């Protein structure tokens, strides 16, 4: 055994793309390979600089040339273009019947096939904006504007 472990992976999808997040804090010089059928990642990260490695064989084909990636302080973000605009039943080619401990659904980005809206703002994902929001920076002015939520509430009656 190589001593490398699988990092936590989150995923969500739209009809035309996948959102994949690999969670490894302070990952320095990650190696990423994306081809028509899979995503490969290896790198070290976290407080103890543990070695991580994972190969994600996709359920269906993707277009690596039209896909994007961004390295954040805690995660690697991927927006991966699907070859066919269809909803995938699962992310992995051979999911099997057991639970995969390192793979979870990213409910913050998930949309079901029947409630997906073509005008959905999340479809036009801006990775820099997403990373800013994840870090809690740039969420709007806090000092100059008074928020209506700041008003005091009346006492509850017994």
Whether residue 123 has pLDDT greater than 60: no
Helices (H), 16-151: 127-134
Q: For 19-64, write each residue's pLDDT tens digit.
A: 999 999 998 889 999 999 999 999 999 888 899 999 999 999 999 9
How far is 121 from 10, CA to CA, in rounded Å? 20
Name the residue with higher pLDDT: 125 or 5: 5
- Beta carbons of 51 and 59 less than 8 angstroms apart: no
How far is 12 from 125, CA to CA, in rounded Å? 13
Q: Check residue 15 and give its pLDDT.
A: 93
Q: Check residue 156 and give its pLDDT.
A: 72
How far is 17 from 32, CA to CA, in rounded Å? 18
Sign of CA dihedral 82, 87, 93, 95: positive
Q: Check residue 126 and give its pLDDT.
A: 56
Name the residue with higher pLDDT: 139 or 113: 113
Q: Check residue 81 and give its pLDDT.
A: 97
How far is 43 from 19, CA to CA, in rounded Å? 20
3-state class (DSSP) for residue 104: strand
Whether residue 66 has pLDDT greater than 80: yes
Strand-pairing partners, residue 78, are 20, 69
Which pTM does this prediction carry? 0.70
- Smallest CA-to-CA distance from 23 within 103, 126, 100, 137 is with 103
**Range 1-85 has CATH code 2.60.40.790:** yes
- Sheet with 28-34: strands ordered across: 28-34, 38-45, 50-57
Percent of the chain past pLDDT 90, that is, above it, reads 52
Q: Check residue 139 and give its pLDDT.
A: 41
- Smallest CA-to-CA distance from 66 within 76, 85, 81, 83 is with 81
Q: Check residue 67 and give its pLDDT.
A: 95
Average pLDDT of the chain?
A: 80
In angstroms, what CA-CA distances link 117 with 14, 15, 24, 96, 113? 10, 10, 32, 31, 9
Structure tokens at 3: 């001593």
């Amino acid at each position: 055994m190589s001593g490398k472990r699988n990092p936590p992976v989150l995923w969500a999808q739209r009809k035309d793309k996948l959102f994949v997040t690999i969670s490894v804090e302070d990952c320095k010089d990650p190696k990423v390979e994306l081809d028509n059928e899979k995503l490969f990642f290896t790198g070290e990260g976290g407080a103890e600089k543990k070695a991580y490695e994972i190969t994600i064989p996709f359920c269906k084909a993707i277009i690596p040339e039209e896909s994007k990636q961004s390295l954040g302080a805690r995660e690697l973000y991927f927006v991966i273009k699907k070859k066919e605009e269809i909803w995938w039943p699962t992310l992995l080619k051979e999911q099997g019947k057991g639970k995969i401990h390192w793979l979870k659904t990213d409910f913050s980005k998930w949309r079901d096939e029947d409630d997906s809206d073509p005008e959905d703002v999340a479809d036009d994902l801006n990775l820099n904006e997403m990373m800013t929001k994840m870090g809690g920076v740039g969420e709007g002015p806090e000092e100059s504007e008074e928020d209506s939520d700041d008003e005091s509430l009346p006492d509850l009656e017994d």
